[in-house]
Chain A
Amino acid sequence: MTTEPAEEQFTNQIGDHDDIWSIVDNALLGIGVTRETGFMDVIVSVENDEIVQASRALRDDEDSKFDYLRSLTAVDNTADGMEVVYHLYSTTKKHNVTVKVFLSNESLRLPTVTDVWPAANWLEREVAEMFGIKFLGHPDPRNLLMPEEIDDTFPLRKDHPLAEIEVLQGEGMGYSGEEL
Chain B
Amino acid sequence: MVEVLSQTSDQSAEFETQDLLLNVGPQHPSTHGVFRMVMTVDGEVVRDVIPYIGYLHRGAEKLCETMDFRQGIGFMDRTEYLAAFNAELSYVMAVEALADLEVPERAQWIRMILCELNRLSSHFMFLGAFGVDTGVFGTPFIYAWREREALIDLFEEVSGDRMMYAYFRPGGVAWDVPVNFVDRVREVLISATQGINDFDSLLSENEIFLARTQGVGSISATRAIALGMSGPSLRASGVDMDIRRDEPYLKYDQIDWDVITGEHGDVFDRYYCRVLEMRESIKIVKQCLEHLAPGPILPEKLPRMLRTPPGEVYLRTEAPRGEYGVYMVSKGGNRPYRCKVRSSCLSNLQALQELTIGEYVADAIVILGSIDIVLSEVDR
Q: Are A1 and B102 in contact (CB under 8 A)?
A: yes
Report if A94 contacts B (CB, 8 A). Answer: yes
- Residue pair B66, A6 in contact (C-beta under 8 Å): no
A13-B247, A119-B226, A177-B331 known; A156+B61 contact, CB < 8 A: yes
User: Please, which residues of chain A bring their CB within 8 A of the CB of B246?
Assistant: 94
Residues of A within 8 A of B334 (CB): 179-180
Quick check: A119 and B228 within 8 Å, CB to CB? yes
Instruction: Contacts A39-B313, A144-B53, A175-B66 given; indicate if A122 touches B61 (C-beta within 8 A).
Output: no
Q: CA separation between A173 and B332, bound complex, in Å?
A: 18
**Interface residue B337 (Cβ < 8 Å from any Cβ of A):** yes
Give Cα distance in the complex from A162 to B246, angstroms: 38
Contacts of A39 in B (CB 8 A): 97-98, 311-313
* Partner of B327 from A5, A6, A73, A177 at Cβ < 8 Å: A73
Interface contacts (Cβ under 8 Å), in number, total 122
Q: Would A6 and B314 be within 8 Å (CB), given that A71-B342, A75-B337, A177-B331 are in contact? A: no
A108 at interface by CB-CB < 8 Å: no
Of A17-25, A27-35, A48-56, A62-70, the one with at least 4 CB within 8 A of chain B: A62-70
A20 to B59, CA, bound (A): 35
Residues on A with beta carbons closer than 8 Å to the beta carbon of B241: 91
Which single member of A41, A119, A162 contacts B63 (CB below 8 Å)? A162
Q: With A38-B312, A40-B313, A85-B327 in contact, do A71 and B57 touch (Cβ < 8 Å)?
A: no
> Closest B-chain residue to A2, C-beta based?
B102
User: Which residues from chain B contact A177 at a C-beta distance below 8 Å?
Assistant: 331-333
Q: Specify which of A3, A10, A123, A162 is in contact with B62 (CB 8 Å cutoff).
A: A162
Name the CB-closest residue of A to B103.
A6
Q: Are B314 and A146 in contact, with the CB atoms below 8 A?
A: no
Interface string of B87-117 (1 = CB under 8 A from A): 0000000001110111100000000000000
Instruction: Give the complex CA separation of A91 and B248 in angstroms.
Output: 15
CA distance A126 to B37 in the complex (A): 18
Cβ distance A120 to chain B, nearest Cβ, rounded Å = 8
- Tell whether B160 is near chain A: CB-to-CB under 8 Å: no
Per-position 1/0 for A136-180, Cβ under 8 A of B: 000000011111000000011000101000000000011101111
Main secondary structure of the interface of A (DSSP, over half): loop
Question: Is residue A121 within 8 Å, beta carbon to beta carbon, of the partner chain?
Answer: yes
Interface: B338 (CB within 8 A): yes
Contacts of A76 in B (CB 8 A): 338
A residues within 8 A CB of B228?
68-70, 117-119, 123
Q: Which residue of A lies closest to B336 (CB)?
A: A175
Taking a contact as CB atoms under 8 Å apart, the answer to whether A7 and B225 are in contact is no
Q: How far is the CA of A39 from the CA of B225 in the complex (A)?
A: 25
B335 within 8 A of A: yes
Interface set, chain B 37-71, CB cutoff 8 A to A: 53-54, 57, 59, 61-63, 65-66, 68
CB-nearest residue of chain B to A43? B312
**Chain A residue, CB-CB nearest to B59:** A155
Bitwise interface map of A from 5 to 16 toward B, beta carbon under 8 Å scored 1, else 0: 111001001100
Task: Name the distance in Å between A17's Cβ and chain B's nearest Cβ.
Answer: 14
A123–B53 Cα distance when bound, in Å, is: 13
> Interface digits, B318-360 against A, CB 8 Å rule (1 contact, 0 not)?
0000010101010111110110101000110010000000000
Residue from the list A5, A40, A67, A173 in contact with B226, Cβ < 8 A: A67
Q: Is B316 an interface residue (CB 8 A)?
A: yes
Question: Could you tell me if B350 and A122 are in contact, using CB atoms closer than 8 angstroms?
Answer: yes
A13 to B247, CA, bound (A): 7
- Is B315 an interface position by the 8 A CB rule? yes
Question: Can you list 8 A-B contacts with CB-CB less than 8 angstroms, sorted by A residue number?
Answer: A1-B301, A5-B102, A40-B97, A40-B315, A117-B226, A118-B226, A145-B379, A155-B62
15 additional A-B pairs beyond A5-B102, A75-B337, beta carbons within 8 Å, are A6-B101, A6-B102, A13-B249, A39-B312, A70-B314, A87-B314, A118-B226, A118-B227, A119-B226, A119-B350, A122-B350, A144-B54, A145-B54, A145-B379, A155-B59
